[in-house]
Amino acid sequence: MKLNNIKKQAGLTLIEVTLVIAVLLGLISVLFIGVSAYKEGSNRSKCILNISNVQKAVRSYQNLYEKAVGDACVQDTLAGSGKLLETVPTCPSSGTYTWLGTIPAVGTAYLTCSKSAVADGDHKPTTTAGW
């Protein structure tokens, strides 16, 4: 003879459903934080790559036209259709670039980003030795 003749209802209580939703929202928020950090890192890398490309264009211009360090080299001679750079680079993090205007000495970057002075921006290459 069975003493428990009570049928259990299948399903989740309201507290259990709320807890599952809260855990899912927490996981989604962690995902969005990670994506934003990844995006800022990729923007920083793209900015440094832009600086590298401009530096290489300046060195190519210097070699092609036999220019010396300190000679004039403006943005119009480097960037534009059919020139060493097809387009004028822009910082992906809404920074502004400062063009030096003269061919720099080896080890000095021709292009600097305004975000390189900001503590969290750090859009400054660690070295220009290989450029």
CA distances (Å), origin 86, targets 57, 81, 83, 98: 11, 5, 6, 18
What is the pLDDT confidence band of residue 131, given thresholds at 50, 70 and 90? confident
Contacts of 15 (CB under 8 A, 6+ apart): none
Per the model's pLDDT, the better-predicted residue between 129 and 39 turns out to be: 39
For position 42, what pLDDT does the model report? 93
pLDDT mean over 62-81: 94
Tens-digit pLDDT profile for residues 25-54: 999 999 988 888 889 889 999 999 999 999
Chain mean position to CA 7: 60
Tens-digit pLDDT profile for residues 74-124: 999 999 999 999 999 999 999 999 999 999 998 899 999 998 877 655 888
For position 11, what pLDDT does the model report? 78
- What is the C-alpha separation between 55 and 88, in angstroms, rounded? 13
Domain boundaries, the chain: 14-116
For position 85, what pLDDT does the model report? 95
For position 23, what pLDDT does the model report? 96
For position 36, what pLDDT does the model report? 84
